[in-house]
Each structure stands twice: as C-alpha cells, then as structure tokens.
Amino acid sequence: MTHNHAPAVDFPDLRWRPIGEGDLDSWAALIARTAAAEQPVWFERRADLEQIMESKNNPVGPNTVLGLDADGVPRAYARLTKNRDGAKAHGFCAVDPQWQRRGVGSALLSWLEARTRQRFTEDSGAGSGRSSGRGSVSESPDRAAPVQRLRIFIEQRQQHQCALLEEAGYQVVRYYNEMHRPLSAPLPEAPLDHGLELVPMEPGLSEAVRLAHNQVFADHWGSEPRDEEAWGFVVNDPLARPDLSAVVLASSTGEVVGYQLASHDPETAVTRGFTEAYTDLLGVRREFRGRGIAQALLADAMRRFAAAGMDKASLDVDSENPTGAMALYRKMGYAPVNTSLAWDKVL
C-alpha cells in the first residue's frame, strides 16, 4: 500500500518529523513528563511503544508526528491508528507541560484530522477490487463514501483537554466507568454449571479466544473485529498476566464459551497507593449467556488477584453496555471510581 505524503503540523515553533526507532527513549520520556503533571490512570511506557513500533497495520512512519524544540528535545507528539475496514480512526497525543496552552494541542488535532482523511482515502484505495464477505469495496461507482470519524479517549477529570476537544468540534459519544473491587472484602462463590470447565489461559487457546471475542463483541458499540496483529497487542502486552487470566470451555466440545484476560502494572502502585490487577477483557458467547459464566470468571479472577497479593480488582465498562454488565459488576462488589469519555468528530 502506498502512503500519501503525511500532512504538516501548523506550529512552526517546533520542528516536526515522523517518529523513528531511535526515538523510543525520548518518546517515552515525553509521555512520562506529561503523565507526571496530568496523573492519568494509565499511560504508555517504553515497552508499549516498542510494541507499537512493530505494527504493520499502522506503521509509525506515516501515522505519527514528533515535535522537537531547538535543542532537539521532543515536546509533543501525535499518533493515529485505524483498522483498514474500520469506520473510525483513533487519535493519541501528548504535549509537554512546559509547552501547553500555546496552541500545540490544536495543531496536533488538526494534523490528526488531516491524517484521518488520508487514511480513509488510502484504505478505500487499498480495498479497490478486493473481495470481502460483504462484496468488493469498489463494486459500485455510486457507493456512498464512508463517514470519516476520529475518536479520542480522555479521562473526564482532564478538563483542559476536554475543553480543547469541545472547542474543536468534538462531541462526547460514550462514557466509560473505571470500577474497583476491594479484595479485602469476602470473595464471592460462583460455581460453574455442569458441562463447563475453567482452565488457565495458555498460548494454545489464544486463537480460539480471539475468535470467541470477535463474536462476543459483535453487538457492542464501537467494537471492531480484532485481527491477529490487534489481538497480539492484547495477549503479548508487556503487562499481560496469563496467570491471572482464565478461559471457560464446554467440556463436551472443548470450545471457548467465555474468558477473562487480566494485566498488572506494578508501577501504578506508586502513583495510586495500592496494587491492582485489571481485567482487560471479559466476555461470554451469546448462546451461553445467562448461566453465571461471567460471575464465575470474575470470582475466579478475584481469587487469583488476591493470591498474587493485589489490593483491588479493577476493570472498565461502557456505561451503556448492552449485556447489563454494570449491574453484574455492582452485584459482585465493584464500584465506579473514575470516568473516561469517548469524543468523536465527524470529518
């Protein structure tokens, strides 16, 4: 696939170029400086950036921009990701605290929007004549162009960033709640039905869990199927903890019916004052819902987390989740502690 020439950033006080392999340390340092001032719940560290560098679907060259000051110190960056057949792009950026409120953020938003338009054009061209399960992307010359949408996630308490997005024409389209469950409280019992078995998450199950996940989340707002690369970002994440994860199988067939994939970031204990294990993904296939599988997976997770010395179990949930997940989590002892917002702009 050929890439258009990436757009320029309209902020001449910094020198702009794509991020390269030699930028890993200074890129991570920029994100860490910003995080130290803004105190987000989570931020990308060097190991995460190494993984991002390996992406073939979203190569960093055409999909990133780094702003350097006169001394060559990175002061701002932006990054865009998009699935080729996806209906939206995701934007990420950070501005060094010393360079905030000078218009850098607005310039990065403009760059992300311009690059999003390019990606939709590129992906449309890449699909030309290609057959898919829904027919060729270019099967009709009168086919309506897809809605071009850029999405950015921000914690609600980051007020200046929220104000910047609102001023730039973005709208909140979804709320996500971070929820915690103290592990010092009595842990629930939730046995599985006959014919179901809970097993550890192992590499040999990864592909079956990926396919199950794509089926589970097909009816979830904003979800797109995860290909092998996107799934690799989950299971090969530097913080992934397969020992704190589990899969439920149908005993008779061995098929995956549910899963709980967890991670742990030891560094958050310093900033948050407690240790936590985080449920990245929890899902139960449609035809197996209503049998207490999610409760069993969460109860198992709590025991694994507690045995590993964690203070809390944590997870995030879409406040309008169609499966009624919020009610389930509250019943299991989770309580909301923080809110994140999904901001969209239709270009």
Query: What is the separation of C-alpha 345 from the centre of its chain, rounded to a whole number of angstroms?
Result: 18
Query: Which residue range is the domain that position 149 belongs to?
Result: 15-169
What confidence score (pLDDT) does residue 82 get? 97
pLDDT in tens, 214-258: 999 987 888 889 999 999 999 999 999 999 999 999 999 999 999
Task: Look at the chain and count its residues.
Answer: 347
Are 144 and 195 in the same domain? no
Are 156 and 234 in the same domain? no
Euclidean distance between CA atoms 154 and 170, whole angstroms: 12
Number of domains in the chain: 2
**Whether 219 contacts 285, CB under 8 Å:** no
Structural domain includes residue 4: no
SS3 content of the chain, % helix, strand, coil (to 5): 35, 25, 40
Euclidean distance between CA atoms 34 and 75, whole angstroms: 10
DSSP H stretches of helix in the chain? 24-38, 46-53, 60-63, 104-126, 159-167, 206-216, 228-235, 268-272, 293-307, 325-331
Are 163 and 224 in the same domain? no
Are 307 and 329 in the same domain? yes
Interval 306-331 mean pLDDT: 89
Q: Which two tokens stand for residue 99?
A: 């360079």
Structural domain includes residue 30: yes
What pLDDT band is residue 324 in, cutting at 50, 70 and 90? Answer: confident
| CATH number assigned to the domain comprising residue 103 | 3.40.630.30
Are 69 and 124 in the same domain? yes
What confidence score (pLDDT) does residue 263 get? 97
What is the widest separation between alpha-carbon atoms in the chain?
Answer: 67
Q: What is the DSSP letter of 6?
A: P
First to last CA, the chain: 23
Give residue for tokens 């999003």: 116
**Domain boundary residue, one of 143, 169, 195:** 169
Whole-structure pTM value: 0.87
pLDDT in tens, 168-221: 999 999 999 999 999 999 999 999 999 999 999 999 999 999 999 999 998 788
What confidence score (pLDDT) does residue 131 get? 31
Q: What is the DSSP letter of 161?
A: H
What confidence score (pLDDT) does residue 139 get? 33
